[in-house]
């Protein structure tokens, strides 16, 4: 069901983003008087098509939902030569270079505009977040050297107020990429205000993971401790065969006391294919001991013991929940800043990959995107909308890269044409297109490889 949910969410997300992107090209082309022949969402065999309007533009919904295109009259010199005289003025190739550039850039701009609108509405509706209270600081980490301690409450970062963890996480990630220091103001557990400096100058490694805040910075968000109360028992697994039931609490394993779920995992993990003694208490207080032989499972490349149980749902304390809620003008300003920051950071990451300062493992393909789409959709409408905004920004930035076959490649051609005073030859553009396709195939191959590696591990 999770797989089907992810696929459905992915198709919806890509469908929305591609439609908006292609509509940008379509709308500007129509406004400039260019005749549009086709507007397709998806590639391959058409699943549905219709013709509309005075130009009888064909609107297509195709089978492969990984892109789309807008076909205009006279897009190539060959097409232009075959045009009827009365239609030459409406051909794409007949337009001045500024008009063609405007049509090319309209797609990515539509994606950026969509992201701004999505962030704007979400900020006005309220973005769920967790108050920026520190739970744990890793010894000898960057955060520890800066002076952070458990219980600290972040107040501002580089002079900007911080209301939730997520906006702080993104800002720090951006600064870490450039190895720039960050000044933070905190209020400690005794109520004293302090100014602390995070120094990223010696940040090692090229991995930048979603767990950056914890793994590389050493700053852990406050979260409730997971109690050793069993919430789910997987049918057919060792725990179910031993008669363990949801609602029971694990007291000890082989005589070792279990205070939290982490203790349970740590004690069961090394015991694959070995019999262990598990002491439990039920909701009625009755205590029993069962013998279980944990099954051997591979987790992140490690062979570990697992008995097929899951924890009971956590109740997150209300006092640590928050919602980032803003008025229309403030929300608009934050939305524009967020899109600008995310776009700049995406370009920065791509640049760091070329210089090998950031690992290419950070590139995600459709499998990972589908997984995140499903998770965000299950998390609620606001999470899915934020996911759409993020992918829309990525799509806009990617299409502006100066790679032939992408919008940025066309813009590069038009810039050369503006300087030379004449367009590039069909032969040169075909050569560039082949190189562009080769680059995209290589990029997609790397993305699929990263996706499969993540799924395996």
Is residue 294 included in any domain, yes or no?
yes
Contact by Cβ (8 Å): 345, 397: no
Same domain? 173 vs 320: yes
Q: For the chain, what is the domain count?
A: 3
Is residue 89 included in any domain, yes or no?
no
Same domain? 369 vs 455: yes
Same domain? 245 vs 369: no
Same domain? 368 vs 442: yes
Is residue 435 included in any domain, yes or no?
yes
Same domain? 348 vs 421: yes
Angle at 247 between CA 273 and CA 314, to 5 degrees: 95
Query: Which pLDDT score is estimated for 127?
Result: 78
Locate the DSSP E strands across 2-84. Answer: 36-52, 57-72
Q: Which residue has the higher pLDDT, 224 or 220?
A: 220
Query: Which pLDDT score is estimated for 411?
Result: 93
Same domain? 235 vs 210: no
Residue 145 structural domain? 130-224+315-324
Q: Which range among 97-106, 213-222, 283-292 shows the weakest confidence by mean pLDDT?
A: 213-222
Is residue 59 included in any domain, yes or no?
no
The residue from 294, 324, 354 where one domain ends is: 324
The SS3 of residue 159 is: coil
The residue from 311, 343, 373 where one domain ends is: 311
Same domain? 121 vs 153: no
Same domain? 437 vs 362: yes
Report d(CA 74, CA 91) in Å as an integer: 5
pLDDT digits (tens, 9 = 90+) for 55-108: 899 999 988 877 888 999 987 655 555 666 777 888 888 899 999 999 999 999
Annotated active-site residue in 22, 167, 214, 216: 22
CA distances from 393 to 109, 112, 117, 229, 346 (A): 9, 6, 12, 42, 9
Lookup: tokens for 111: 């994606």
Contact by Cβ (8 Å): 398, 107: no
Same domain? 177 vs 214: yes
| Mean local confidence (pLDDT), 130-149 | 85
Q: How confident is the model at residue 359 (pLDDT cuts 50, 70, 90)?
A: low
CATH number at residue 176: 2.30.42.10
Fill in the DSSP letter of residue 42.
E
Active site residue 22: yes
Q: How confident is the model at residue 162 (pLDDT cuts 50, 70, 90)?
A: confident
Residue with tokens 């032939």: 404
Is residue 43 included in any domain, yes or no?
no
| Mean local confidence (pLDDT), 332-361 | 80
The residue from 257, 279, 311 where one domain ends is: 311
Is residue 135 included in any domain, yes or no?
yes
Contacts of 405 (CB under 8 A, 6+ apart): 433, 436, 437, 440
Query: Which pLDDT score is estimated for 216?
Result: 74
Same domain? 119 vs 151: no
pLDDT digits (tens, 9 = 90+) for 2-36: 667 677 777 888 888 989 999 999 999 999 999 99
Burial of 25 per CB tally in 10 Å (0-12, 13-18, 19+): buried
Query: Which pLDDT score is estimated for 97?
Result: 92
pLDDT digits (tens, 9 = 90+) for 434-444: 787 787 777 77
On average, the pLDDT of the chain sits at 83
Q: How confident is the model at residue 356 (pLDDT cuts 50, 70, 90)?
A: low
């Amino acid at each position: 069901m999770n797989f089907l949910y992810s696929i459905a969410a992915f198709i919806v997300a890509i469908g929305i983003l591609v439609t908006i992107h292609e509509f940008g090209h379509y709308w500007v082309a129509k406004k400039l008087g260019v005749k549009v022949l086709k507007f397709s969402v998806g590639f391959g065999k058409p699943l549905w098509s219709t013709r509309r309007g005075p130009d009888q533009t064909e609107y297509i919904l195709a089978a492969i939902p990984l892109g789309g295109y807008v076909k205009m009259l006279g897009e190539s010199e060959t097409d232009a030569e075959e045009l009827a005289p009365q239609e030459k003025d409406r051909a794409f190739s007949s337009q001045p270079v500024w008009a063609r550039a405007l049509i090319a850039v309209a797609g990515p701009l539509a994606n950026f505009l969509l992201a701004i609108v999505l962030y704007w509405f979400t900020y006005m509706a309220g973005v769920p977040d967790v108050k920026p209270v520190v739970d744990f600081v890793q010894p000898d980490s960057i955060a520890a050297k800066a002076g952070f301690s458990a219980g600290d409450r972040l107040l501002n970062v580089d002079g900007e107020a911080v209301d939730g963890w997520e906006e702080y996480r993104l800002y720090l990630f951006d600064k870490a990429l450039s190895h720039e220091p960050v000044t933070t103001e905190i209020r400690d557990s005794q109520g004293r205000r302090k100014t602390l400096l995070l120094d990223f100058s010696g940040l090692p490694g090229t991995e930048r993971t979603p767990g950056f805040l914890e793994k590389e910075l050493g700053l852990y968000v406050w979260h409730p401790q997971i109690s050793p109360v069993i919430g789910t028992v997987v049918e057919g697994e060792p725990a179910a065969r031993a008669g363990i039931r949801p609602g029971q609490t694990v007291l000890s394993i082989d005589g070792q006391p279990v205070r939290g779920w982490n203790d349970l995992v740590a004690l069961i993990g090394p015991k694959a294919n070995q019999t262990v003694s598990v002491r439990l208490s039920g909701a009625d207080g009755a205590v029993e001991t069962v013998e279980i032989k944990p099954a051997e499972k591979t987790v992140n490349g490690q062979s570990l013991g697992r008995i097929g149980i899951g924890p009971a749902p956590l109740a997150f304390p209300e006092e640590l929940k928050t919602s980032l809620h803003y008025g229309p003008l403030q929300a608009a300003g934050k939305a524009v800043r967020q899109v600008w920051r995310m776009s700049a950071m995406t370009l920065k990451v791509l640049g760091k990959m070329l210089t090998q300062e950031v690992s290419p493992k950070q590139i995600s393909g459709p499998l990972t995107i589908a997984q995140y789409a499903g998770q965000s959709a299950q998390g609620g409408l606001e999470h899915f909308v934020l996911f759409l905004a993020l992918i829309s920004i990525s799509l806009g930035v990617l299409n502006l890269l100066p790679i032939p076959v992408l919008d940025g490649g066309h813009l590069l051609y038009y810039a050369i044409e503006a300087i030379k005073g004449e367009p590039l030859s069909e032969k040169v553009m075909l050569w560039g297109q082949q190189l562009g396709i080769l680059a995209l195939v290589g990029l997609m191959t790397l993305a699929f490889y990263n996706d499969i590696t993540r799924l395996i591990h």
